[in-house]
Structure 1
Amino acid sequence: MVIGIIIYLVVFFLFWIAGTFLTRFCLRKWVNKNSGTGKAFAIFTVIYYLIFMGDRHLSSMVFNYYCSDKELVGLHVYERIELPRDMLLPPPKTSKERSKIRSSLLIDEESKLIDEQKFNRLYDYRYLIKTTIFPIGPIFKYEASVRRKVDGTLLGKAVEIRNRHGWLDRFANEGANSGTSCPRYYDNSGSFYNYDRAALIDAIFDQE
């Protein structure tokens, strides 16, 4: 680990030095023959920043803007529905039974199960709609929603925003699902979680 960091730093500074001298060469060849190393260093530093960190910083500013909009992110319930008894079933008792049902239809602390067929006839549930809302980063919006089919009314939605932090971060993580998301919730141990999408149906159809 330590050796890897040392190698990375050595390559980093060698690249910076080489870039500075290349910039000085270009300046002297096409701009001013008397251009010095200091000027070349400053210009290359700006170029280096824009190439490697520019998209990360820009996407972070846009990400913070979206996350500050409390009407956009998080769990929002616009209408609460009390379901008739014939739409409620007993919850699964075993893990095998649970594997056969849609867990998001468990409500009231998993004490009741909404009948999936009847639910699908009345409501349009979208668990994950992914939209690119800013190309640099890029920044994605993940949205779950429930609409009443008869009139198209939006009953509730859960929105999460995720920033991938630019190409360098994705490259460093080998394309893994890295980045930062909001809203962010923390339990007593300080661990991060976000169950908004999973809790959406329960929040709308809570029978308590």
Structure 2
Amino acid sequence: MTFHRYDEPEVIEEGLRLGEDDEFTYECWPQMYNDRLVLRSKKDPYTYEYGWCFPKQLGVAVAAALAVWNPETQDEPVGWHKRAVQNIRRAPRRDEDPAYNRERCVHGSYMDAYCTVDLHCPRDRARMTEDFDELLRRNSLGGGLTEEQKRAEAERQQRAEWIREIRELHLLLEHTPAQLRRIAEIVEALEGDAAAREHWERAARAGNRDAKDYLTVVNEEAAEKEEERG
């Protein structure tokens, strides 16, 4: 497949057409409570095979996600909070980006990290329940929490606080440069450098100096490592 992102969106009846590949057109459909990125089939334009719901921001969140997404190597975009259909997309060259293409929960967060959208995500709730049950079992045997258990509990509480904060930030229709930087910091803490990269870039484009300085350092370190390998 070859993906083509339009320089200017095309106005259509449902919303905006933002790009296309050999099989689909990539469109933003405003809904009552969210904006939806839809991959509409060229063979059957009355249906769409894949879709993702984003915060309702006049299409801004959808356009930002599409701007940094490579559908040829990456399964799904970032920033969505719900799949619009049950189909889970798989990119044709997904093996080229295994770190990005890790499994995600129903809210779009990686399965090996805590959900950044819903503090009560069923996946996380099950994990937290298992961890808490294990703490109770050990406590009943040993009488009091060990230092390791205290650290683990503190980490869980910190993650819960980060998730609460990022949920509140996601609800805002517009973000200041400082808020965009904070989102990048939280995503990096929860999901790692790769997942946070686009958020740092977004904060930098918005004019946040800390984000610009961070990306400068990261890029310089990457260049040094590349030279060492060369």
TM-score (norm 1): 0.23
| Structure richer in strand, relative to its length | 1
Higher gyration radius (CA): 1
TM-score (norm 2): 0.21
